[in-house]
Structure 1
Amino acid sequence: MSIPVVTVGDSREDLVGRLERLHGPVSVVRRCNELAELLAACQGGLARAAVVAEGSAELTASLVDRLSAVGVAVLALTDSPEETLRLQGIGVASELTGVDAAALASRITASVAQLAGADPWLRQGASNPRLADEGPAPGPSGAATAEGMEGAGAGRIIAVWGPAGSPGRTMLAANMAAELAAEGKSVLLVDADSYGASVAAMLGLLDESAGLAQACRLADQGLLDAAALLRIAVPVATRAGTFRVLTGITRADRWTELRAAALSLVLARAREVMEVIVIDTGFCLESDEELSFDVMAPRRNAATLRSLELADTVFAVGAADSIGVPRLVRGLAELETAVPNSSPRVVLNKVRPSAVGRSPERQLRDAWERYGPTVPLGSFLPADPAAADAALLAGSLLLEAAPDSALRRGIAALVCAPVQRNGGSSVFSSTAKRWLKG
């Protein structure tokens, strides 16, 4: 049975004619005038392959993601080496415009078989881009995702998640990044909260350019290289080290700019130039948004879900009080459903006797073992409002505003020892240094 193909461009019908004269493996079922028409035809189940003979510059990672989601392989024709490289970066196969019909048909067949056998995004170092965009589905996470990203670089991803109610996600993520940088690691802090991005405000940054949205935009177009990523990421210098920040969206209604496919490419690029990427995620894990959106529409929580899917380590933080702990328990159950095998490290923040009673850590641990989920309780961070407020007021971090505080020491103990195995002693990795010099 021949493979149904839709095409766009090549008005002289040379492409269609060449394929049709084969009378074999492929059959052109529609000739489209523009990519929008091609997308509509593919979403209608008309084809299993799309050949873009003209206008390949309009192809983006998000568009390819949407076509892959409905089982359509994409092949573009171009004679430009630069365009070929760009297309490869967004997961599109390419051939020369004058390719022989038999060779073109063979390439189409191979692309379709490749898409059916293994998602091309997995081979690029990202988990399935449809998981966060199409609702709940089992997919790789944690160590499994790390194995799938071997080709993307040695950098490790730490995601900081927590339920609603200000448990301290941003505070923890920002100070983790600072502590890792103080240890000599090259660190990128990413604000992927699509509801209330606040990393820039916490660090006293006046940047209003939404660095993560910029990086996603370039990645979507296949134009994000290491140099561009380092230009967009804002450097934050402390007396102990320097790290870079991709600031979050400046308004909550800009969440559509954080597409899962583009974010996957941003994180894959970050792995190549940074030793550690720390992500401040949003709280919401809902993925069945088809109730309010068309199936192929962008997903509000795609950035959070994708970050958790790709993370090597997930820290789940909750407030240590009678409201925060039940919220965390329920949230962990949602996390297990949304991102299977995430194996989060549970952190209880704001631990204080006034909210729990005498010997708060012992009481919290006893209650967790008795009523909590199967996920073990990992660490405790003490309530230290004076230190936290001093850092927030100064727009700085605990290692500067309150270096001797118990809260600062607790955060440092969470991340510094486990990441020692990554090695390296420079503030930036050798790759990042090379790009900065160039």
Structure 2
Amino acid sequence: MSIPVVTVGQAQEDVVGGLERLHGPVTVVRRCTELAELLAACQSGLARAAVVAEGSEDLTASLADRLGAVGVAIIALTDSPEEAARLHGIGVTSALTTVDSAALAERISDAVAQLTGSGLTGRRPASNGLTASGLTGGKQREHGFAETGAALRPEADEAVPVPSAAGTGKIVAVWGPAGSPGRTLVAVNIAGELAAAGQSVLLVDADSYGASVAAVLGLLDEAAGLAQACRLADQGLLDRETLLRVAVPVAATAGSFRVLTGITRADRWTELRSAALALVLERAREVADVVVVDTGFCLEADEELSFDTMAPRRNAATLRSLEMADTVFAVGAADPVGVPRLVRGLAELETAVPGVAPEVVMNKVRAAAVGRSPERQLREAWDRYGPGTGIKAFLPSDPGASDAALLSGSLLLEVAPDSRLRAAIARLVCAPVQQKRRSSVFSSTAKAKLRG
């Protein structure tokens, strides 16, 4: 099989000449003068592999992800162990600048085979990690994004540091259709209840349309922690300590957790690129027992609307969060408008993220909107017209408690610890109701992970 290759960098002459003298399947079809030209050549379908002879520092996780999406593997040449480790972290294969032509050709062939065989956005099977002690169960799943160079381990003389093992923390995504069904309220208080139960928790605001976690918690934060983390991850510079520095600590009466705040303006959605967010969530697994993600509502695969396959995707943050989640809570408003929206939204969710097994949560349950015995009527209607997925929980409407929490920028467990809404959310995640217990995001588990 012929493997067309494009190259870039001042050192490409030796690379090109050596590969051409082999007369093998690896064939150089274009010599580019800059990275932008190489990207255009790859996007046009000209090549199956790209060799970056110089300038590897300009490579990012998003670039590798997009080239992988069009079937192009990247091999970068560098003599720096630190740069090789960074490249490995963003899914790029590296080799020494002195690598001989035969070895380089073999790596190119292996990289293309690996990319073709594994794909780039493999869906991991859903698993629910809810246990009596919080979200500590569930099956640890594979990466939700491709590691282009996973099978291309460096030779011994390249001395690339071995990356740390994948974290064991669980990802909980809170999603819901359009119409303000209460996603953020549920996500924030799930984080608070799990922190009160002794879990180390990281709350992530990944809503690219209307991020509001910071406002709900009363945080005067304009830095957009998630955007900062994605930027560092895209460059291969996000480690565990840096992630914890970027995340904002939130201290509550019965525990504390950390928050990666969302983008401060909707037009900043381009900063939440899919590959970078995936790296952030994988790193978050290493520092927290539970990662709670407040997602956006829209599931539209907007790449179908664009001819530019290299362009960022507005809904990538939501889709990637749902793909990587161990547990997905689908929140819908319990009224004549919210229920049909949720039914249609679940069908869209199944199409957008095949194999997902959401836990349905009916929020704002009240007799005034549904009639007498609202839970019974909702369950009967759901059994008759719903998509076959049972209802996991009913969260009662409690505007007094909700408004008090929003006004003070606090959790329900602080301003309304005895409210039925607070108790229902605690039961949803199987967290015992805690009143005064202190816990921290730097729990013994998280500290042990950081020391390791």
TM-score (norm 2): 0.88
Q: What CA deviation, in whole Å up to 9, does each residue of 1:244-285 have, x standing for no partner?
A: 000000000000111111110000101111110000001111
Q: Is 2:356 the partner of 1:368?
A: no
Match of residue 14 from structure 1: 14
Please say if 1:69 is aligned against 2:69: yes
In the TM superposition, what is the alpha-carbon distance from 1:428 to its structure 2 partner? 2.7
Equivalent positions of 1:34-433 (< 5 A) are: 34-119=34-119, 127-128=121-122, 139-143=123-127, 146-149=140-143, 152-292=166-306, 294-417=308-431, 427-430=441-444, 432-433=446-447
Q: 1:293/1:103 Cα in 2 relative to 1: closer, same or farther (>3 Å)?
A: closer
Mapped partners of 1:382, 1:25: distance in 2: 65
- Give the 3 Å change call, closer, same or farther, for CA 436–239 of structure 1 in structure 2: farther
1:158 and 1:116, CA in 2 relative to 1: closer, same or farther beyond 3 A?
same
Q: Deviations over 1:69-118 (max 9, x none)?
A: 11111101000010000000000111110111111111111111111111
Judged with a 3 Å threshold, the aligned counterparts in structure 2 of structure 1 residues 386 and 103 are, in CA distance, closer, same or farther, namely same
**8 Å CA contact 1:3, 1:47 repeated in 2:** yes
- In the other structure, the counterpart of 2:25 is 25
- Segment of structure 1 superposing worse, 295-304 or 379-388: 295-304
Task: Compute the displacement of 1:143 (Å).
Answer: 3.0
TM-score (normalizing by structure 1): 0.91
Contact 1:141-1:340 within 8 A present in 2 as well:
no
Which residue identity does 1:109 align to in structure 2? Answer: S
Please list every run of 5 or more consecutive structure 1 residues that lacks an aligned counterpart in the other structure. Answer: 122-126, 129-138, 419-424
Check 1:404–1:417 CA distance in 2 against 1; reply closer, same or farther (3 A cut). Answer: closer
1:159 alignment partner AA: A
Residue identity matched to 2:364 = K
Q: Which amino acid aligns with 1:78?
A: T
Write out per-residue CA displacement over residues 188-212 of structure 1, whole angstroms, 9 at most, x where no aligned residue.
0000000000000000000100111
In structure 2, what residue type is equivalent to 1:278?
V
The answer as to whether partners of 2:287 and 2:449 remain within 8 angstroms in 1 is no
Q: Secondary structure at the match of 1:152?
A: coil
User: What's 2:154 paired with?
Assistant: none
Displacement after TM superposition at 1:12 (Å):
6.5
Secondary structure of the residue aligned to 1:390 is: helix
Q: What is the SS of the residue equivalent to 1:408? A: helix
Letter in 2 for 1:161: W
Cα–Cα, structure 1 residues 296 and 12, in superposed 2: closer, same or farther, change >3 Å? closer
SS in 2 for 1:188: strand
CA displacement at 1:152 relative to structure 2:
2.0
SS at match of 1:143: coil
Number of matched pairs = 416
**Preserved CA contact (<8 Å) 1:56 1:76:** yes
Task: Provide Cα deviations, 1:330-383, integer angstroms capped at 9, x if missing partner.
Answer: 111111111112111111111111111111111111111112221112210111
Q: Which runs of 5+ in 2 are unaligned?
A: 129-138, 145-164, 433-438
- The one-letter code matched in structure 2 to 1:391 is A
Residue 421 of structure 1 corresponds to which residue in structure 2?
none
**Residues 191 and 199, structure 1, Cα contact 8 Å, conserved in 2:** yes
Cα distance in 2 between the residues matched to 1:27 and 1:311: 41
Contact 1:259 1:298 in 2 (8 A): yes
* Matching residue's letter, 1:265: L
Once structures 1 and 2 are overlaid, which stretch shifts more, 185-194 or 13-22?
Answer: 13-22
Instruction: Report the equivalent of 1:136.
Output: none
* Counterpart code for 2:277: L
Partner secondary structure for residue 111 of structure 1: helix
User: What displacement does 1:61 show?
Assistant: 0.5
Kindly report the root-mean-square deviation, in angstroms, between the aligned alpha carbons of the 2 structures: 2.0
CA contact (8 A) 1:275 1:429 kept: no
| SS in structure 1 of the partner of residue 369 of structure 2 | helix
**Identity of counterpart residues, as a percentage?**
75
Q: Distance in 2 between matches of 1:405 and 1:141?
A: 36
Q: Give, in whole Å, the separation in 2 of the partners of 1:292 and 1:99.
A: 39
Which letter does structure 2 place at the counterpart of 1:39? L
SS at the partner of 1:36?
helix
Query: Contact 1:227–1:435 (CA<8 Å) still a contact in 2?
Result: no
Q: Structure 1 residues 304, 27: closer, same or farther in 2, change over 3 A?
A: same
| Structure 2: distance between partners of 1:287 and 1:141 | 20
